[in-house]
A and B are shown apart, each in its own frame.
Chain A
Amino acid sequence: MKSKKSWVFSIFIVMLLIISGCSSGNEKEISKESTDKSVTMLFSFASKTMDPHQDWMGVRAGVAETLVRIDENLEIQPWLAEAWEKKDEKTWTFKIREGVTFHDGSPVDGEAVKASFERVLETNEAISSSLKIESMEADGQEITFVNTEEYPAFLSELVHTNTSIVKADAENMGEQPVATGPFKVTSFTSETEVNLERYEDYWDGVAKLDQVKIKFNSDGNVRALALQSGEADIAYHLPPESLEPIESNNKLRVESVPSLRVHFLLYNNANPALQDVDVRKALDLLVNRPVAVEEIMNGHATEAAGPFNPNFAFASETEPTSYDPEKAEELLKEAGYKKNADGKMERDGEVLTLKLATYPGRPELPLLAQYLQGEAASVGVNIEIVTIENIDSYLWEQQDEWDMVTYSNLTAPRGDGGYFLNVAYLPDGALNPGQINIPELNKLTQQLNTTADPEKRMELQKKAVNVIRKEVPHSFILHPHIIVGVNDRVKDWEPGSEEYYLITNKMDVK
């Protein structure tokens, strides 16, 4: 009996030791925070590497910077390059800002920028094909790029985080890149966390914070709990259902900004029924955007009137389509459908039945699909839902299987609509599994691809958006918001729509 008691006792002691070990660790962390000016941010997408040419985290963490960037109004602005000039159809000259230094103290000049671009062209397949650089020449603080073809979108492509300027010959770029941002990396654990300290010679004014820690966790609920427990000061991409305890806590706040993403329905042009614009318009009218925003997104979304975030100057100026089942029914009748005895829409003896594919990767998309299914049923259109885990390969490899799909995309991640118009609407675009081919739109996109003048580009993009509104190859539903939980001790900081510059030199703590 005695030995059993002592055995239970020893387990108890071990437990106590473990717990006491932990709590002392915690206290240390808290006391450290109160003396240092530091912030812990919790982000959702884990980074494998800190190499700014491979991953977005280099720029997001305030370590690396690009030649040009988009500002809070989503307009392209000078950044490491203070000015640029388009010499001819293919030639661009950028003037690099004086006084910018890399984290090792060496100055950033034309040569350094050239070396950085040489590195990215060599190591990044996608960026190398998107930049279309034929040759580069450095001269003092200037760098000249010659494109392989007339390429006006070059400027906006330079907003891409992977084009940021790094010290090309630095070793260990994956863990401690040498770049120009307000912070430099002190340690990095792949897919887990990165620790940063401020760079004292930062050109745009030394950062207010001493240290920043960014941790990655792909579970939204854990991110919300970590914010509440004080382990994180900023928690990105919170699920709407986790917000209530955060909103009711007076030490925390929730920021919700419309993202550059749009959730939409993509129609398959291979289906004869969907080739009829009236049918597409009818389906568009069945999308109840206010309900989707309020009920499915808990209010954390903005109704979409077109592919682009409404803050862009080239976004659609018309109102989002209003839900109107009666008009939808009328349009279907115009398209030759009649209600049969069962109340189903029928043409040539066939009931209008559409297969809607959706995927669970974004949990709200299956809900949007179900909601649309209900609305369609009320006017006599059958929608069959299939949930596909790997949606992209399904859409491409089984193009005759599906009629519609709930989809989601970043549409103008670099402040220019050219990207989405090219990939989603041109017949050989990488995001055009629905075989959309609208000659008028193709022409506008091709024209855009050779137009450099910003105002003309704007005008062409607006025209393209109008064609999209008229032809309805997609039904745009909503722009989901980026929901960020913030501890009130963080000041002078708010999330931007572009999700590029998350850590700044301006952010501070109380």
Chain B
Amino acid sequence: MRQAVSIISSRLFQLIIIVLILSFATFILMKITPGDPVRALLKVDDVISTTEDKERVMEEYGFDKPILVQYVQWLWNVAQLDLGESIISKRPVLEIILDKLPATVALSVGGVIALFVIAVPLGVIGAVYEGKWPDYISRWFAILGASIPSFWLGLLLIYFFSLKWNLLPVMGKGTLAHFVLPSITLGIAMAPLYIKLLRERLVSTLQSTYIESAYARGLGRGRILLFHALRGSLIPLVTMFGLSIGSLLGGITVIEILFSWPGMGEMIVQAVMQRDYPLIQGYIMVVGVLVVMTNLIVDLLYLLIDPQIRHGREIS
């Protein structure tokens, strides 16, 4: 319990530091990269406007003030739990993000389920049949998964599962069926690292003395694999998951756009294109907090799944 409290408090402290660094870095980056939101605001591609209008809008939104002043103003608002409003749609940023977040989280969960459904069997097969043909298949799959871009993989899956075999819907969200293709695409994109890691861990575990003694006690192979070897080998996968949650949320954007998934993907791409600063900044904050929180949960999970770690830490 004491340990859990100390983990939580240190993570919360980390969170504040990360949010400060992250927000400052993105703020500066956004302002120094070319592009300005005024053209989008004035709809210059659509209605008549002049350079004079542009200056007026710059002033109105405070874009003419020094970057630091703009940042401090933003930070002050955030401190009062106000992420501002989108300059394009004029809706509160927090409301827009909270609207989209559940779908992204749901898809992430789908992707993680797909990831484990793909990675665990393949990793186990690779380890059990080390050096034999099933091992090669598993390794080839990992290489293939790592080298196929997700948008292309998604298109291929749509082509076969929706168009040729008419099994699954092309896109959208609604029934369980709508989850399958985007989740599998996400799962395959993330699986290679996990397959490799699990296989390596299992290979070394299967050679360890406690497994040998388990065999000596006359336990069946399947039982040893499932209840002894696999359980210990899953831990690094959980750690890895904590670390890769950030890249998961980044990679999910492509998949959301491809499958018209109502998550944050389309929102953030449009926000970047239109230089909707408050929305971009709000998105980065929310994702940053999510990543830190997930890592916190992973750390707490350790305490649950593996008491050895707890003992080890307490002794040290």
Chain A residues within 8 Å of B, Cβ to Cβ? 1-5, 7-8, 11, 14, 18-19, 21-23, 25-26, 29, 46, 48-49, 54, 123, 125-127, 129-130, 153, 157, 160, 174, 189-193, 215-219, 221-222, 225-226, 228-229, 231, 390, 392-394, 397, 409-410, 413, 418-419, 422-423, 426, 428-431
Contact = CB atoms under 8 A, between A and B. Distances in A.
B163 interface: yes
B99 interface: yes
A191 B121 CA distance: 37
A157 B46 CA distance: 10
B47 A225 contact: no
A190 to B, nearest CB: 7
A129 B170 contact: no
29 contacts: A3-B223, A4-B225, A4-B226, A8-B121, A11-B121, A21-B175, A22-B168, A25-B174, A25-B176, A123-B90, A157-B47, A189-B173, A190-B96, A192-B260, A192-B261, A215-B172, A217-B260, A218-B257, A219-B151, A219-B258, A222-B155, A222-B260, A225-B155, A231-B162, A392-B39, A397-B34, A409-B45, A413-B46, A419-B47
A123 B91 CA distance: 11
B211 interface: no
Given A11-B121, A22-B180, A218-B257, A419 B170 contact: no
A253 B43 CA distance: 34
Which of A46, A191, A225 has most B Cβ within 10 Å? A191
Interface stretch (B52-60, B201-209, B238-246, B289-297): B52-60
Contact of B34 (A18, A54, A394, A413): A394
A130 B177 contact: no
B9 interface: no
Contacts of A428: 50-52
Contacts, number: 179
B55 to A, nearest CB: 11
Contacts of A48: 88-89, 267, 270
B163 A129 contact: no
Interface string B145-161: 00000010001001100
Interface residues of B, number: 63
Nearest to A29: B169
Nearest to A15: B117
A460 to B, nearest CB: 16
A126 B89 contact: no
Contacts of B90: 54, 123
B166 interface: yes
A1 B221 contact: yes
Given A54-B89, A430-B51, A222 B170 contact: yes
B262 interface: yes
A229 B176 contact: no
B60 to A, nearest CB: 8
A221 B159 CA distance: 10
B176 A193 contact: no
Contact of A3 (B162, B180, B226, B270): B226
A229 B164 CA distance: 8
B49 A126 contact: yes
Contacts of A397: 34
A126 B47 contact: yes
A171 B260 CA distance: 27
Contact of B176 (A22, A127, A190, A231): A22
Contacts of A393: 34-36
A153 B221 CA distance: 83
A47 B158 CA distance: 24
Interface of B: 33-36, 39, 41-54, 57, 88-91, 96, 99-100, 117, 121, 151, 155, 158-159, 162-163, 166-177, 180, 220-223, 225-226, 257-262, 266-267, 270
Contact of A225 (B50, B89, B159, B260): B159
Contacts of B162: 225-226, 229, 231
A225 B158 contact: yes
Contact of A22 (B36, B177, B221): B177
A21 to B, nearest CB: 5
Nearest to B266: A191
B221 A25 contact: no
B176 A18 contact: yes
Contact of B177 (A25, A46, A221, A431): A25
Given A21-B176, A191-B262, 7 more contacts: A7-B222, A22-B176, A222-B155, A229-B163, A231-B171, A429-B50, A430-B42
Contacts of B222: 1-5, 7
A426 B51 CA distance: 11
Contacts of B166: 26, 229
A426 B53 CA distance: 14
Contact of A419 (B35, B48, B91, B158): B48
Contacts of B174: 25
Which of B33, B41, B90 has most A Cβ within 10 Å? B90
Contacts of A23: 167, 177
A18 B172 contact: no
A219 B89 CA distance: 23
Contacts of A2: 220, 222
A426 B167 CA distance: 56
Contacts of B169: 22, 25-26, 29, 231
Contacts of B176: 18, 21-22, 25
Contacts of B163: 225, 228-229
A356 B159 CA distance: 38
Given A48-B270, A225-B155, A26 B44 contact: no
A222 B173 CA distance: 15
B171 A21 contact: no
Contact of A218 (B57, B100, B168, B266): B266
A390 B47 CA distance: 20
A481 to B, nearest CB: 19
Contacts of B48: 130, 153, 418-419, 422-423, 430
Contact of A21 (B53, B91, B173, B177): B177
A54 B91 CA distance: 12
B182 to A, nearest CB: 12
Contacts of A221: 155
Contacts of A18: 176-177, 180
A63 B258 CA distance: 27
A191 B267 contact: yes
A336 B48 CA distance: 39
A193 B47 contact: no
Nearest to A54: B89
A410 B42 contact: no
Contacts of B159: 225
B97 to A, nearest CB: 12
Contacts of A49: 89, 91
B25 to A, nearest CB: 20
Contacts of A426: 50
A11 B266 contact: no
Nearest to A190: B99
Contacts of B99: 190
A25 B162 CA distance: 13
